[in-house]
Structure 1
Amino acid sequence: MEPSVIAEYTGDEEYMECVKDILDSSVFHSLDKYIQHGTTTCKDHSIQVSYLAYKLCKRFGGNWRSAARAGLLHDLFLYDWHTHARETGNHFHGFTHPRTAFQNAQAYFELSWEEGDIILRHMWPLTPIPPATRAGFAVTCADKVCSAVETTARLKSWVLLCFLARPARR
């Protein structure tokens, strides 16, 4: 994660106050072992989703505390989804990981009803039931934005590499 992003969220006292227990937990730090999109770890992805959703709720309304906390926990599935299907036979990670993340989050943290709802519904419209709250929509949107940026950053590098590797025209 870029130092400017780290400085922004760690310097936001209100944000840090409501997520400190999660950020300090070993289970959350274990997300560093798993790549989410491109070269971004699950931990960095979750922080970026959390902070963007928090800022969206602060600006447009919604429970910013629930958005911040659920944003950190929305992908707490604790496995490498790139190899999960091969290892388990479960080929539906996109559909099933919200429930796994919810169960893990419940096991390690005290969740409000809204935080649980956000985690369970963050993959909408891939999962059929939309988020029930503004904070839920903030996390869902932040997740889509962050995922797109992380994925296209890798794609941009690949396209640039292919372009630079092409033989020059004469």
Structure 2
Amino acid sequence: MDSAKHLMVDVEAAGKNPSAALLSIGAVFFDPATGGMDESFYAPIKLSSSQYYGGDIDASTVEWWMQQSDAARAVFSDENRSSLKYVLEEFSKFIKVCAGDHDVYVWGNGPAYDNAILSHAFHKTWVKQPWSFSKDTCVRTMVMLGRELGIDPKNELPREGEHHNALDDAIHQARYVSLIWQKLFAVHQ
């Protein structure tokens, strides 16, 4: 792998827009060329704190959450929930410690979801975002490329962990992005 580090992020939120109130952040450093996983981060966030910092709560998303498993909904009452600002400061420290002087490519699901929600939250809390906007990278684009290559590990790879747990989702996404990456670059190895 080059000198850049790859970080898969997943957020759980109470809305679908970039201003959605965050419920949790999960992230894992990974090497898409090998599928290897490194350090991970998980933090649940107090919904009231996310709302305080301008996070929007969408009724249809709350109704959707009410239909999810007990394990997924546990994020709302997790005793380890912290304020949005504190979690973002800790997330920033995590990235800086793990990446050092390396560039960090931050992978998220879609140009308007994970990365956009995180960017909005960093902005609203006055915490400096620890990666450049030019390093935002899209999981959905990789899935599309994989399907063009005739593979669909997003849907075919056996799922481990809890659906809608931000860290479990980030790990699963890193696994299938790595498989697509390896297929894309197989001819160059």
TM-score (norm 1): 0.27
Query: If each structure's strand is expressed as a fraction of its own residues, which one has the higher value?
Result: 2
Going by fraction, where is helix more abundant, 1 or 2? Answer: 1
Larger Rg: 1
